[in-house]
Chains A and B, each alone.
Chain A
Amino acid sequence: MPTEVKPRAVSPSRKAAAKRGVLLENVSRSYRDRRGSAVAALAGISMSVREGELLAVVGPSGCGKSTLLELICGLQAPDGGSIACAPAVLMPQRDLLLPWLSALDNAALALRVAGLSRAESRARAAMLFEELGLEGFQRARPHELSGGMRQRVAFLRTLLSGKPVLCLDEPFGALDAITRGEMQDWLSQTLMREPRIVVLVTHDVEEAVVLADRMAVLSPRPGRVIEELDIDLERPRSRTDSDVVALRERALIALGAGARR
């Protein structure tokens, strides 16, 4: 079932297209700070993500990136504008593995919640464990795993929800540079095996250029899209590739221009 919040402003044909992707039109969202005055987090965001596409959303901290993902996942409703999209699942910034479950049971959580038996959900998660380089860690408790392994388990949990849209909120932000590079490679390989529509929020421009098909650059709060860049490069991409470096530069310039405005 596609989630539709205030569908009136989306024309029927585009809405139909969005049933298999993500379509945001002029979405705004504000919240109340402690003193009760309204702070705009997002002001008039329009963007679309097509089927099979990985869109990276880059912006300075506090520009409403996490809010954007929660809107797409239906965890919040927008104040204005409209959102039409296929069912989306959020992978939050913290891995949020449940300490009382083993790594395998954490990955299988979405299946348990969907009503599968313990044995069946374990069997299905175990298949992915083997395929995605987590073999041998099934029974480990979350605190026994390294940061990179925890993120892999959290990503598997997200993947196993079976939803076509994955919203990843700075999935590698807390990792050291070496592990982050490994995880980026792992993510692009995993997505090749298990294609999904991905919205990747990050403050790391390089990460966006290495992983994404397209990049949306957001302004400081209230966030709005100030530039969209197509990243039409061969995979796998190297961080030192001249095209990657050039695109990174363009994105950084756009970010800098947004900050000065």
Chain B
Amino acid sequence: MRRAVVRALPAALLAAALLGAWELYVDVSGVATYLLPAPHGVLAAMWENGGLIWRNFSVTAEEVVLGLGLALLGGSALAVAIHLFPVLRRAVYPLAVGSQAVPIPVIGVLLVFWWGFGILPKLVVIALICFFPVVVTTVDGLAAVDPDQLKLLRTLDASRWQAFRFAELPAALPAALSGARIALAVGVIGAFIAETTTPTSGPYPGLGREIISDVNLQTPRAYAGTVVLFLFAIACFYTLSLAERRLAPWTRRERGETH
């Protein structure tokens, strides 16, 4: 417990210093609230609009978690397929790279035309934005397996599937999890893009859409929503780090290894 406090201290101090500087700047410069609200104003807006922000946040959080899940499933499946069938790499990789350059608004309307005003088109947008880092890191991780380990499995008469199961898959896991963390970082902004490009029918459009509609007239509320997204991204990132420690404990210990 005490160690956890000590470890969190630098981040807390830095955040406090930045908040102080922000508060001081707003106070001294007299910048208008609709341009930059002071931290205490943002906090007040968060307090007053707690219910609204929470309901919109639930919508966004669901989108991020499910969209990321879709990206992880699709991305790692594609990576495994590319690894097992090199011809797929030549066929799919250029398209996957190119897909990252497609501005989402171009296809947003099309996705709504296909799947309606529900959550599905938003999940697809998030997954499209997130799957790429997962594919790249997993493909590289699978290819980086020690060839001598594969030779060892061959001399033990392992099948192709067993070589994959006992050597390639665990060898790729740390890289795939790094990809997942990158995907998560872009996933939150992906939810924002999804909400602003595909219209929704629900009563709460999600935090991203809420922020956009607040930004001119209800600036402190827009900032309050942003702070919630900010904290959400941090929480997700460390949850994934924790998962990595559980799923691939050998990577942490090997870094401290002496021989």
Contact = CB atoms under 8 A, between A and B. Distances in A.
Interface of A: 73, 75, 89-90, 92, 94, 96, 98-100, 109-110, 112-114, 141, 143-144, 147, 157, 161
The dominant DSSP class at the B interface is helix
A73 B156 CA distance: 10
B155 A73 contact: yes
A100 B250 contact: yes
A89 B254 CA distance: 28
B166 A98 contact: yes
A231 to B, nearest CB: 27
B162 A75 contact: no
Given A96-B149, A98-B170, A113 B162 contact: yes
B157 A114 contact: yes
- For chain B, which range describes its interface: under 10, 10 to 19, 20 to 34, or 35 or more residues? 20 to 34
A96 B156 contact: no
Contact of A147 (B149, B151, B167, B259): B259
Interface string B125-168: 00000000000000000000010110111111111001000110
Given A114-B157, A143-B253, A161-B156, A109 B148 contact: no
A248 B157 CA distance: 37
14 contacts: A75-B154, A96-B152, A98-B166, A98-B170, A99-B250, A100-B173, A109-B156, A110-B156, A112-B166, A113-B157, A114-B157, A143-B253, A144-B253, A157-B156
Q: Chain B CB within 10 Å — which of A89, A113, A141, A161 has the most?
A: A113
Nearest to A95: B152
B254 A99 contact: yes
Interface string B161-188: 0100011001001000000000000000
B248 interface: yes
Given A110-B156, A141-B253, 14 more contacts: A73-B155, A75-B154, A90-B151, A90-B152, A92-B151, A96-B146, A98-B167, A100-B170, A100-B173, A112-B162, A113-B159, A113-B166, A143-B257, A161-B155
Contacts of B162: 112-113
Contacts of A112: 162, 166
Contact of B152 (A92, A141, A143): A92
